[in-house]
Amino acid sequence: LIRGIGDDAAVLRLPRGHEILVTTDFSLEDIHFRRHWAAATSIGHRTLLRGLSDIAAMGGIPLAAFLSLAVPRNLPQPWIDGFLTGLVRLATRFGVSLAGGDTSQSPEKVLADIVVVGSVPRGRAVLRSGARVGDRIYVTGQLGAAAARLARLYSARQTRIGRPRAGGLPLPRVAIGQFLRHKRIARSMIDLSDGLSTDLSHICEESKVGAEISEQSIPRARLDHTRVGMKFALHGGDDYELLFTADPRTRVPPTIGGTSITQIGEIKRARKLILCDAEGRRVELQPEGWEHFG
Amino acid sequence: LIRGIGDDAAVLRLPRGHEILVTTDFSLEDIHFRRHWAAATSIGHRTLLRGLSDIAAMGGIPLAAFLSLAVPRNLPQPWIDGFLTGLVRLATRFGVSLAGGDTSQSPEKVLADIVVVGSVPRGRAVLRSGARVGDRIYVTGQLGAAAARLARLYSARQTRIGRPRAGGLPLPRVAIGQFLRHKRIARSMIDLSDGLSTDLSHICEESKVGAEISEQSIPRARLDHTRVGMKFALHGGDDYELLFTADPRTRVPPTIGGTSITQIGEIKRARKLILCDAEGRRVELQPEGWEHFG
């Protein structure tokens, strides 16, 4: 970063032989989050998490973040402080500068838009379009915890949750994404922000292929020592794990940096998603992604 | 642009030996614009204009734009079409790809955030901090038209204005910015988005200097064959002209590409803004920038 906040534009220098990655993500109150359902630090964390996770899914190195933040006039200052604390703490942890952005008053609700700029060696970004028939499909970590937690909040009609433990907030899989790109393991990759069924369908669309996954192989997260329901693992958003495909001849390690890597299925020629259930029945899987609050 | 919309992040290649420029700007309904005071095409145009103008003020070359757009559920589709038409037309005119962004439903109002990524030869970005004592201060074009037009709308309490003539929409001074950088004329530069008094104060703050400008030399725009009031030229936002400073020994052409370049004052050591009025009186000028609707 050559020049950050305080000029018309930020100036960044790119590592030699690298290309630029750019991603932008909204975090809008009552669409992407509810202000009274999470601590401000957690909302700030998740705002940046979404952008870092996109860079991770390209196999990229995050360099700088830009935050556009509009808040209503009557928003308490401690909320803003908490939001920024959560965001900056995550940025620092991943060596990312907060290099600029925009601030504004908003008519009523908190509106954030995060931009993350990253880099990747020339021609080496891992795209969604690289999956080939026969590729094995893998996911990192466990799925469904975020959606299961959200469902619990909905059903309890809770109006306030406590400060989350720092350990409870998901982290972007930046190091794993870079490892999978560097070792030429992943041929296609996406982050699980909208839910497995939806995000796998994006890989299939962009790669012009289909996929078959096995229900039994899907690594379901535990919440209070119980495995979350299958629907949360299949369709729940906000997990920020990586989904990637690899040539069947490629050796894929069972863990990377302590995180489990699980094979969940295979890329097929027929352009649909098939779910093989516990009884061996094969049913078509409809993408039922993350439903926003709206 | 290597990879645009349809992946986790866009991939861009930079010209050899260049650095990256990144700027982000909100355009929020009832803060930055009113939906019933301008045609949708004009609002789309201005949304991108703000970003391109920031790149121009660095002497940069715009490469790609990213639009995050949230709209309420009941917004008529023709409004969105008009907004995108105005934005894409301006992008095309300046050779900029719309390379990505985010879309969302918004709770109530139109929320846009524009990111423009550009490039500049390494170490050659024209910063706000480059002004030196003795530098002459220049502006491009004429000032105050946008604010005078807005004041007219306010006073008339108009609820709807007609489709603006394309010629009536300001264009970012991209070519002039590049010329001033390439010919090493500008030592510091900023775009006039917040108004002359505010933007000149930004140059002074970043360069740790003061400035004296002469009222009589300020090029005031004409609206319906009448020069706009001095307050609009001094404090009115949204003009998107460039303000720059140059070493007194540097020859600055009177026009660049048909646009007039006017010397309006000089950089001083004393860290305040002084306005020399028509009677030769010197008064301190307070920055009274662009007031948002809120």
Q: Is the pLDDT at B215 greater than 50, yes or no?
A: yes
Percent of chain B at pLDDT exceeding 70: 94
pLDDT at B254: 97
pLDDT at B157: 60
Determine the Cα–Cα distance for residues A192 and A92; give it in Å rounded to an integer.
Answer: 23
The answer to whether A228 touches A151, Cβ cutoff 8 Å, is no
> Both tokens of residue A220?
């379901």
Beta bridge partners of A221: none
Residues of A in contact with B60 (CB under 8 A): 9
Q: Strands A282-284 and A222-223, how do they pair?
A: unpaired
Q: Is the pLDDT at B164 greater than 80, yes or no?
A: no
Residues of B in contact with A21 (CB under 8 A): 9-12
For the entire predicted model, the pTM comes to 0.92
Interface of A with B in 70-129 (CB under 8 A): 70, 73, 99-102, 104-109, 111, 113, 115-118, 120, 122, 125, 127-129
Closest CA to B116 of B129, B103, B97: B97
Residues of A in contact with B22 (CB under 8 A): 9-10, 12, 22, 64, 66, 99-100, 115, 117
Q: Is the pLDDT at B141 greater than 80, yes or no?
A: yes
pLDDT at A15: 92
pLDDT at A97: 95
Determine the Cα–Cα distance for residues B109 and B33; give it in Å rounded to an integer.
Answer: 11
Mean pLDDT across the stretch B112-122? 97
Closest chain A CA to residue B70: A26
Q: What is the mean pLDDT of each run of 10 residues along chain A (294 residues)?
A: 88 94 94 89 96 98 96 95 97 96 89 96 97 98 91 67 58 98 98 95 98 97 92 92 98 97 98 94 86 45
Shortest distance between the Cα of B165 and any Cα of chain A, in A, equals: 28
The answer to whether B175 touches B57, Cβ cutoff 8 Å, is no
Q: Strands B226-227 and B282-284, how do they pair?
A: unpaired
Closest CA to A75 of A32, A109, A121: A109
Contact B54 A8 (CB under 8 A): yes
Determine the Cα–Cα distance for residues B47 and B216; give it in Å rounded to an integer.
Answer: 32
Percent of chain B at pLDDT exceeding 90: 79
Pick the residue with more confidence: A1 or B212?
A: B212
How many CA atoms lie less than 13 Å away from B186 in the CB half-sphere? Answer: 30
What ipTM goes with this model? 0.90
- One DSSP character per residue, B76-132 reads -HHHHHHHHHHHHHHHHHTT-EEEEEEEEEESSS-EEEEEEEEEEETT----GGG--
Closest chain A CA to residue B127: A7
Interface of B with A in 212-241 (CB under 8 A): none
Closest chain A CA to residue B32: A104
Contact B8 A120 (CB under 8 A): no
Number of other residues whose CB lies within 10 A of the CB of residue A24: 26
Partner residue facing A115 (CB), from B8, B28, B115: B115
Beta bridge partners of A61: A119
pLDDT at A163: 45
pLDDT at A157: 60
pLDDT at B165: 44
pLDDT at B169: 87
Q: How many angstroms separate the Cα of A15 from the Cα of each of A233, B124, B218, B294?
A: 38, 18, 44, 42
B134–A contact, CB cutoff 8 A = no
pLDDT tens digits, B37-89: 889 999 999 999 999 999 999 999 999 999 999 999 999 999 999 999 999 99
Shortest distance between the Cα of B236 and any Cα of chain A, in A, equals: 18
